[in-house]
Every structure is written in C-alpha cells, then in structure tokens.
Amino acid sequence: MEQKTKRKVINLLGVKIKYKVKDKTKEVPSSDSSYNTILYTIEMLKAYGIRYIVTSPGCQNAVFNYKIQHDDYFKCISVVDERSAVYVAAGIAQETQEAVVVACTGATASRNYLSGLTECYYSNLGVIALTFFNYDNNEYNLGAQFTDRKITQNDIKRISVQLPQMHNNQDKKRCLTYLNTALSTAVYKNSPVHINIPSTLDYHIANEQKKNKTESINDIWTTKYYYDEFEGIKDLIKSKKTAIFIGSHGKFKQEETKAISDFAQSYSIPVICDHTSNYHGANKILVKEIQYTLNEELHPDLVIDIGGITGEYALFLFEKAEIWRISELNEFNCRYDKPVSKIFMMKEKRFFSSLINSEKEENGYYNELTKIIQRKEYSDLPLCMPLVCQKTAEYIGENALLHLSILNSLRCMNYFRLSESINVRSNVGGFGIDGAVSTLIGQSLVTDKKCFLITGDLAFFYDMNAIGQRDIKNNIRILMVNNNRGVEFRINPALEKTYGEETDNLIAAAGHFKGGAKAWAEACGFTYLSCDTKEGFLSQIKDFCTLNYDKPVFFEVFTSNEDEICGFEIMNNMR
C-alpha cells in the first residue's frame, strides 16, 4: 500500500514549522514559492558572473547557504560577524574589480551591514547585500526576528528591492526585473545594492532537489550595459525588423529630432509613438494606427526603446521583440517586465547619430507598415470623446500646446494626427486623475501660445479650483466632455460585461456635479460655451479652436453614456 503523506510539526529555535513527509521514492517538486525565488536568485548571480559570496550563518538564509555550498561555481567564504563580512566583501571587490555578495539571516543581522555598506557606497564598490526574511512575519503580528527593511539609508545602496514569492508567471517576471535592476547596477555601475529575499524554512526541499536533480532553470534573462562600444550593433539592426518606440518625452531639440530621423530613414525603421512622445520627425507612426491591424508576422523583432511612461499600452510591440533601451540618466528601466538585452548608457542623440546606416535602405520595415496603416475618417461617430478629439485635431491651430487628461482623452486623441508643430503633454508620470487643469495653467503662464486642455468631467472637477487663480491668461482653452461619470469604467469591456449599470454607483462615480461647470467657469471669468448635440458641437468647435477671445474659454460638451460606448466600439472596430 502506498504510504500516505503525513504532516508533522517541529519546533526550531522557537518557530513552529509545518512540512510534509513524503514517500522517499517519489520526486519532491520545487513548489515552495520562496524556494523558487532563491533558486532564481542563485541562477541570476551566475548569469552576471558573480562568483564570490561572503555569507554568515542563520536560519532564514540556511537554504541559500546550503545551495551555494554544493555549487562549484561559487567561491564561498564564511564570516560569522556580519559587521566584518561586508568589509571582507569590500576587500575582495577592491582586489578583483568584481561584484561580490554578502548574505545574512533575518533579525538584526542586516543592521550590522550598515557601516560596511556605507564604505562601499562612497568607495563605489559593487557589493550585493542579500538579506532574508520570513514572509509570514510583519511589523504588526509580533513575529520573532522581524526587522522592517522597507526604508534604508540613502548612502548604503544605490538600489533596494524586495523579491516576491514566486506563485505564478507574473511573480517570476517581476522577480527577474528586480534582480536585473539590482545586479546590473552592482556589476556595471560598481555600486552597492540591497536585495531582500523571502526565506523558506522548509529545509528538506533543497536536500531532496539535490538528490533527485530535478531543478532546471533556463528562462532567466540578463542585461548588458554599453557605454562606448558599437561594434556589431549596425549589423544587428540591419538583420531584424527593427522599430524605435518613444514613450512620453520632453521636447526634442532640433538636432535630436534630426538624429532620430536620419537614423530611422537610413534603415527604413518606423518610429512608433503616441502624441506625448513629442516626436515631430521622419517615419512617425502612431501606435493606434497599427494596433488593431498589425498581424503577428509583422511585429518587430527588435525594439529600440526611449522615453518614459506612456498612456498607450503598446504591449503587442514588445511581445516577441528583443528590446534595447537607451538610458540618458544611466538607470535601468524596462516596460511590462519584458527582458531588456542591452542598455545604452548615453544621450539619445549620440546613439542615433553614431549608428546611421551609410548604405541607406530604400524599402524596409517602415514601408511594410505604411501599407497597412488605416486612417479612417470615422464619419459615423456620435457625440462622444472620440468625436471631440477628431475635430479638435482637425481645427487646432499651428504651434498650440495641448494637454490631455488621463486616460480616455489621451487614448482617443492618439487615433488622430496632429500638426507636427503642436507639443502634447499628459500627466503620465504619476498617471492619476489630478492636476491636469493646474498643469495646463502652468504651461499657459510662460507662453503666449494657445493652450488647450481636453478633459473629462471627473478630472476637471477634481482640479476645478485651479481656474479661480488670479493669474489666468486669455490663451487658455478648456474643453470638458461631461458624460456625468468616469466613462473610462463604462467603456471597459470587462467591467461593463460583469457589472453593467451597477458600475455607475461607486466605480464610475456617476451623478456628481449635476449642474455642470457653467456657473463656476463664468464666476472665474471664462467665456462659456456648451452643447449637448452633435450638430451643436460641430457648429462651435472650429471657432473654439481658432478664434481669438478676450477671455479664457471653457467649452462644456454634454454626452451620454450610450454614445460614449458606441464611439469606443467604433474606434476599436467592435461595431
């Protein structure tokens, strides 16, 4: 008869640990989520060529210590006193010019690293502090040996990350992003870093895995930093379907735009972006122009990524592509936890101007994409945010400033081309509802250009006090689409299908600000316009965009939930 699994409880140093005793003839899977995190950490240390580990004794790091002591790749040194351990690691780092690991248990052990890590910080030594903690403990449950490491001193590390327990693929992706961020900083920037790792007290699992040899990790990724080297880079660009992706970006200087344009044209590379990229150069393609028409065979093989956070969820561009990142601030960043194979630590202009293809491509990837771009007129749109953006894009004047609030305003405008003279901004850094009106006012105070804002009702009323300031100028044009709710939550297919009308209560917050903005806008000295029909909107939008007024202008467009949903479905080819 097969032996049944039994549960036992042992008491180790006052900590009760439950584990399963299984039939020794059966394979024990590496199902412990914290153990998997430890395994990936070890594998990543190898991938970055980190050989030396100075480790101190303890329970929380016992499994880690057990694994490395049976791995011939590592050169392990045991130092009992953690205060000394960091200085030993510092000495090794100084002599070898390599990154070195120090590892300790929970409780106050990590506190003993502070003096040594301070030395490493100011001496630019790549010492990697691995601290371990019991995931079941926290600052509120009176668990033994807990120390809160969420906040650490500025001058003991360049980066501090806490790895997740690996329950699923998303946890693994996040774990790899954190490990790459920390380890690449230590290796390539010669800086101390801190990695906080959930421990496992299931000690038998590592021993069983060692006996049965069931571990195999081959799905990690690493990043290589480039500072000056360009050897072979041109050939790699030529050999792949390469695209440039630009996230939100400050204004490009003329010479920067030229460098990107010349580079893109020389390889026939598309420059894929949204309006917040502020790129006004050659080979530009808006994400929305290809998002729903690009077959998988035409997805890029290589993406050169620049800029910051974007409101366009362009995940499809990164699914199968190798990703390079240009980092002007010498920082590690990646999008969607996707692997970044190369990070170029240099100015964008330098990268693009240095790698222009002398043998210019005439018909390349850019030409392939332009054949499938669909620039529809969308003449059948009802009165909704997409129609507002379509007509604003048509009539907004040259050299204007345009601010788009999060998120529906930004998304809808990205369907339509704007004059290349228009600079666009959206608060995608914090990516929140607040501040759109105030940011527009800040822009308007330092320019005589017309400054436009397209916003929804909740976002406007959230920041409505801003228009009462005494320094408001006449160059402000606010267009508020009032659909009497956060319509973003009603055009979300998953929410709408699941909750329908019930979304309005607390999720979409419908029914607030019933009187609209007229009284407040006029009280603040604005010329007030409004409409609640498509015809009324079409009869006023051109004047709103083009006429010169002796006051700032507020245009309130009342739409219905039904028309907003209809407009969303038309734009996304759902009807």
As a whole number of angstroms, the distance between CA 209 and CA 199 comes to 17
What mean pLDDT, rounded, does the chain reach? 90
Residue 24 DSSP symbol: T
Please tell me what DSSP assigns to residue 9.
E
Which SS3 state, helix, strand or coil, does residue 477 take?
strand
- pLDDT tens for 276-326 read 999 999 999 999 999 888 888 999 999 999 999 988 888 889 989 999 999
CB 385 within 8 A of CB 456: yes
The owner of tokens 């964008």 is 348
Spell out the domains of the chain, with CATH numbers in brackets. Answer: 24-218 (3.40.50.970), 225-370 (3.40.50.1220), 385-571 (3.40.50.970)
* More confident of the two residues 393 and 209: 393
* Average pLDDT rounded to a whole number, residues 118-136: 95
Contact 509, 484 (CB under 8 A): no
pLDDT tens figures, 258-290: 999 999 999 999 999 999 999 999 999 999 999
Print the SS3 string covering 515-535: CCCHHHHHHCCCEEEEECCHH
Question: Which ranges of 190-307 would DSSP assign to H, the alpha helix?
Answer: 204-212, 233-238, 254-267, 287-290
Residues 257, 156: Cα–Cα separation, whole Å: 39
* pLDDT (tens digit per residue) in 328-376: 988 999 998 999 999 999 999 999 999 999 988 878 999 999 988 866 7
Residue 124: partners with Cβ closer than 8 Å, 6 or more residues away:
190, 191
**Which of 122-126, 143-147, 362-366, 368-372 is the most confident on average?**
122-126
Q: Of 197, 134, 187, whose CA–CA distance to 160 is shortest?
A: 197
Kindly report the pTM of this predicted structure. 0.87
Q: Is the pLDDT of residue 131 over 80?
A: yes
Q: What are the structure tokens assigned to 64, written together?
A: 């880690």
Percent of the chain with pLDDT over 90: 77
pLDDT at 27 over 50: no
pLDDT at 215: 66
pLDDT band at 575 (very low <50, low <70, confident <90, very high): low
Helix axes 33-47, 169-189, angle to 10 degrees: 30
pLDDT digits (tens, 9 = 90+) for 225-245: 999 889 999 999 999 999 999
3-state secondary structure of 188: helix
Is the distance from CB of 270 to CB of 321 less than 8 angstroms?
no
| pLDDT (tens digit per residue) in 516-554 | 999 999 999 999 999 999 999 999 999 999 999 999 999
- In this predicted model, what pLDDT tens digit does every residue of 96-108 receive, in sequence order? 999 999 999 988 9
Which pLDDT score is estimated for 213? 58
Phi/psi at 277 (5° precision): -70, -25
Confidence of residue 3 (pLDDT cuts 50, 70, 90): very low
Quick one: which of 313, 343, 397 has its CA closest to 572? 313
Among 16-25, 58-67, 441-450, 541-550, name the one with the lowest average pLDDT: 16-25
pLDDT given at position 9? 37
Band of residue 171 on the pLDDT scale cut at 50, 70, 90 = very high
Structure tokens at 386: 């997409």
Residue 25, pLDDT above cutoff 70: no
Question: Please, which pLDDT band fits residue 6 given cuts at 50, 70 and 90?
Answer: very low
**14 has a pLDDT exceeding 90:** no
Kindly state the DSSP code that residue 104 receives in the 8-state scheme.
E
Is residue 4 over pLDDT 50?
Answer: no
